[in-house]
């Protein structure tokens, strides 16, 4: 994607401050209502990648429920990412451990982090948050495509993508360049 463009979905490329998901974060509904100067959303939105095995919990499950508690994360780095997230931040929903792993849609962080209700210990070690369904993609971005682009001339930003470096991490930051 060109600098200042956010690509969400295989065919969507708009200037970042005009992307419908970015506008929604600012409470606007159309590109015509967006201010022409860069907004805080246009400067540095934080994006995330949430991995789930579709046999356990799929994007279709989230679409049906609308909002879900994202709990059960038992990795300290992923827990720290949860604790740093803010409502309204966007994330990619990734199906893993399936015949065609890849990014299948977009979600939004719907709450601040809170103690994980599945954590039964005396001290609250783990955190959870609420995720909200945003959109399902008709054409997922498959892992094999990301790997192919990483090794092509246009894939330099993907070389640093956590998904390709730490594939077992269930929650990961994603840069705009990626």
Pair 68, 62: CB distance under 8 Å: yes
DSSP string, 42-66: HH---EEEEEE-TTTS-HHHHHHHS
User: Which is more confidently placed, 60 or 24?
Assistant: 60
C-alpha distances in angstroms, 70 versus 9, 13, 33, 101? 23, 29, 33, 20
pLDDT digits (tens, 9 = 90+) for 92-141: 999 999 999 999 999 999 999 999 998 877 677 899 999 999 999 999 99
Whether pTM > 0.85 for this model: the answer is: no
Dist CA 167 CA 75 (whole Å): 13
Q: Which helix (H) or strand (E) holds 151?
A: none
Pair 108, 93: CB distance under 8 Å: no
- What was the pLDDT predicted at 140? 94
| Mean predicted confidence (pLDDT) in 12-25 | 47
pLDDT digits (tens, 9 = 90+) for 75-84: 999 999 999 9
């Amino acid at each position: 994607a060109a600098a200042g463009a956010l690509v969400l979905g295989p065919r969507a490329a708009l200037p970042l401050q005009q992307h419908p998901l970015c506008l929604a974060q600012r409470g606007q509904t159309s590109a015509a209502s967006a201010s022409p100067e860069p907004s805080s959303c246009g400067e540095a939105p934080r994006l995330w990648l949430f991995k789930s095995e579709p046999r356990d919990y799929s994007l279709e499950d989230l679409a049906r429920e609308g909002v879900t508690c994202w709990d059960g994360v038992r990795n300290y780095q992923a827990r720290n990412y949860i604790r740093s997230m803010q409502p309204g931040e966007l994330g990619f929903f990734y199906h893993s451990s399936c015949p065609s792993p890849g990014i299948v849609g977009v979600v939004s962080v719907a709450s601040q982090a809170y103690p994980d209700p599945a954590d039964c210990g005396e001290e609250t070690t783990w955190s959870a948050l609420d995720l909200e369904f945003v959109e399902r993609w008709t054409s997922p971005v498959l892992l094999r495509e990301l790997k192919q682009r990483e090794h092509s001339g246009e894939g330099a930003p993907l070389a640093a993508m956590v998904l390709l470096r730490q594939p077992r991490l269930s929650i990961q930051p994603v840069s705009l360049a990626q």
